[in-house]
Amino acid sequence: MVLTHYTKNHGEEAREGEKLSHESQELLLSLPKEKGWRTPYLYKYQGFWCQPMEIQATVSFQKHFLARDTDVVLATIPKSGTTWLKALAFAIVNRKRFPISNNHPLLSYNPHDLVPFFEYKLYANEQLPDLSNLSNLPQPRLFGTHVPFASLANPINKSSSRVVYLCRNPFDTFVSSWHYTNKIIPKTQAPMPIEDAFEMYCKGIVGFGPFWDHMLGYWKESIERPHKVLFLKYEDMKEDVSFHLKKLADFLGFPFSLEEERAGCVEKIAKLCSFENLKELEVNKAGKSIKNFENKNLFRKAEVGDWVNYLSPRMAEQLTKVMEEKLGDSGLSFKVLP
Ligand code: PAP
């Protein structure tokens, strides 16, 4: 009886022709739930708030993914610079195969096409991904994910694969998430008021949140095992992209040679992957790379401190308190203004 009622609700949730398996439906019945930002509910799976399809995909990934020592996982909480990190990592590790030129794949493909997400692409459907395909990906294989470290750990820790985490200050991440949500919700749905979204965010109820647990999971791991997890901050990268590009290349095992540096290779990659360049490309103006979502919504302002245009002083104070309380003496702090 309960399951029938539940399944009916979930018919509405499983959008874009996606289906939840019976097993996933059973799992969801056992999980705490809260009203979602754009789906009826978010469910708490392994400590994190996710949409039903994301949980199904994460379970599948955890069961089936076989990591290789050379794999690289690019991890973020949504709206922290995922698209940028994917572009940079792709350009760095493939620069011998794809020198920076007018034919570079990043000029005709969105970074999400070149670096697939575990949960939105490879394990997004009930069927397993074509494993022969997965094993044929060029080395090192690059993957993207929003899954928190603890939930990633089992497959990933079985190998010497590396993880790069890009973190962004919660003020701008919140504003970016709120804008994005209102861009992609169906036209028939009323826009989400910023006050409602903000209250949920401060309670930790946001995709893959609470944001503090997501950040701290990777932060702690990066301190304990710096060879395994590289922790980067969006604001630092905006300030000095070349420095962080070199740091990323070193960590990934693809350091720039002196000749490359002299030839301006670092700056060329930075320019290729810049917001200004990617935003203007046809594929990023008109394409759809993740499910049915338009690429153009991934490129808004890319500024540090844009939150001041949206959050009232009271909201800023509230979020500051949440951060102080939750991040505590972890050592993780952010630049929130340019
Ligand atoms: P995702 O997690 O859904 O893939 P993600 O790429 O992390 O999205 O976030 C989009 C944000 O990154 C947008 O921020 P904004 O809303 O504050 O503007 C987007 O503008 C920004 N962004 C996209 N590409 C780049 C880039 N090449 N450099 C810097 N920021 C970028």
Percent of the chain whose predicted confidence (pLDDT) is above 70: 93
CATH number at residue 239: 3.40.50.300
Number of domains in the chain: 1
The CA distance from 335 to 235, in Å, is 7
Inter-residue long-range contacts of 89-94, CB under 8 Å, 24+ positions, other chains counted: 89/115, 89/142, 89/164, 89/248, 89/252, 90/114, 90/115, 90/142, 91/269, 91/272, 91/273, 92/245, 92/248, 92/249, 92/252, 92/254, 92/269, 93/140, 93/142, 93/252, 93/254, 94/138
Contact 91, 273 (CB under 8 A): yes
CA 268 remoteness from chain centre = 24
160 pLDDT above the threshold of 70? yes
Q: Which residue range is the domain that position 194 belongs to?
A: 2-327
Task: State the pLDDT at residue 134.
Answer: 78
Q: What is the pTM of this model?
A: 0.94
Looking at the domain assignment, is residue 337 inside a domain?
A: no
Task: State the pLDDT at residue 318.
Answer: 98
Mean pLDDT over all residues of the chain? 92
Looking at the domain assignment, is residue 189 inside a domain?
A: yes
Task: State the pLDDT at residue 125.
Answer: 78
Task: State the pLDDT at residue 301.
Answer: 98
For ligand 1, atom 4, which residue shows the shortest CA distance? 82
Residue 79 C-alpha to ligand 1 middle, in angstroms?
A: 6
Looking at the domain assignment, is residue 168 inside a domain?
A: yes
CA-wise closest residue to 82 among 286, 278, 220, 219:
278
Looking at the domain assignment, is residue 298 inside a domain?
A: yes
Looking at the domain assignment, is residue 177 inside a domain?
A: yes
Residue 275 C-alpha to ligand 1 middle, in angstroms?
A: 8
Q: Which member of 146, 179, 214, 244 is catalytic?
A: 146
Looking at the domain assignment, is residue 334 inside a domain?
A: no
CA 289 remoteness from chain centre = 14
Looking at the domain assignment, is residue 333 inside a domain?
A: no
Residue 108 C-alpha to ligand 1 middle, in angstroms?
A: 18
Q: Is 22 a catalytic residue?
A: no
13 pLDDT above the threshold of 50? no
Looking at the domain assignment, is residue 336 inside a domain?
A: no
Contact 163, 73 (CB under 8 A): yes
Q: Cα dihedral sign for 45, 49, 55, 59?
A: negative
Q: How confident is the model at residue 187 (pLDDT cuts 50, 70, 90)?
A: confident
Of 230-244, 248-262, 287-301, 306-320, the least confident: 287-301
| Averaged pLDDT, 268-286 | 97
